[in-house]
Amino acid sequence: MAELDTDAMIQRFRDRAAAVKKRPLPPVEGEGRKAFMEQQQNDFMDFAIVGDAEAELVDGVLTLRVDLRPKND
């Protein structure tokens, strides 16, 4: 197995999250539009969570650590 570049993997998820935000809405109406928008939000959230992760690869085990606590601004 080739060595996993965890930094590159996380960057790909960040890129995917950004791409979802730019994804154009297809010409659908009603329930189809609602379903598309819900899926777009879920895709963004999933990609953004992994994109915010800290990755550690030890003895063939990949661990992603994600802090989901609210940020104090």
pTM of the model: 0.80
Cite the DSSP H helix spans in 1-73. Answer: 6-22, 30-51
pLDDT of residue 1 exceeding 60: no
Average pLDDT of span 38-44? 95
Between residues 20 and 71, which one has the greater pLDDT?
A: 20
Place of tokens 């063939």: 60
| Structural domain boundaries in the chain | 6-65
Among 52, 49, 20, which residue's Cα sits nearest to residue 37? 20
Q: 47-64 pLDDT, tens per residue? A: 999 999 999 999 989 999
Query: If you ran DSSP here, which 8-state letter would residue 62 be given?
Result: E
Both tokens assigned to 29:
């109406």
Cβ neighbourhood burial of 47 (10 Å; 0-12, 13-18, 19+): buried
